[in-house]
C-alpha cells in the first residue's frame, strides 16, 4: 500500500491558515482537510507540529531535527568505537 505525498514545510505552512479559516467559518475539520487536499489525521498532525510557525521557523525546525539526528548517529558510532577499544585493551578480545 503506497503512502501519500510527502509535503515539505514550505508547502504545509500556507495550507494551515487556509484550513484554520475554513474551520473558523464553521466547516468541520474533516471537510477542511479535504478542501486543502489532505487527510484528517494529516491535518491534525500538521496542526500539532507546525501550528503558529512562520515559514522560516518551520524550515529552521526541520534543519535542527535533521542535525540532531545526524549528531545522535555520530555519538552512537563513537560510543561503539569506545566500547570496542575498551574491550580490546582489557584483553577480552
Which tens digits make up the pLDDT trace of 16-45? 889 989 999 999 999 999 999 999 999 999
Per-residue model confidence (pLDDT) at position 24: 92
Q: Which long-range contacts (CB under 8 A, 24 or more apart) does 79-83 make?
A: none
Local structure of residue 38 (DSSP, 8 states): S
pTM over 0.75: no
Q: Are 30 and 40 in contact (CB under 8 A)?
A: yes
> For the chain, which residues make up each domain, given as ranges?
1-53, 56-93
The 3-state DSSP class for residue 3 equals: coil
- The CATH code belonging to domain 1-53 is 1.10.10
Amino acid at each position: 500500500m503506497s503512502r501519500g505525498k510527502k509535503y515539505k514545510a514550505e508547502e504545509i505552512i500556507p495550507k494551515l491558515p487556509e484550513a484554520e479559516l475554513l474551520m473558523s467559518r464553521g466547516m468541520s475539520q474533516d471537510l477542511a482537510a479535504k478542501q486543502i487536499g489532505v487527510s484528517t489525521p494529516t491535518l491534525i498532525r500538521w496542526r500539532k507540529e507546525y501550528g503558529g510557525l512562520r515559514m522560516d521557523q518551520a524550515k529552521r525546525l526541520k534543519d535542527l531535527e535533521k542535525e540532531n539526528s545526524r549528531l545522535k548517529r555520530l555519538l552512537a558510532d563513537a560510543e561503539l568505537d569506545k566500547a570496542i577499544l575498551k574491550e580490546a585493551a582489557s584483553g577480552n578480545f
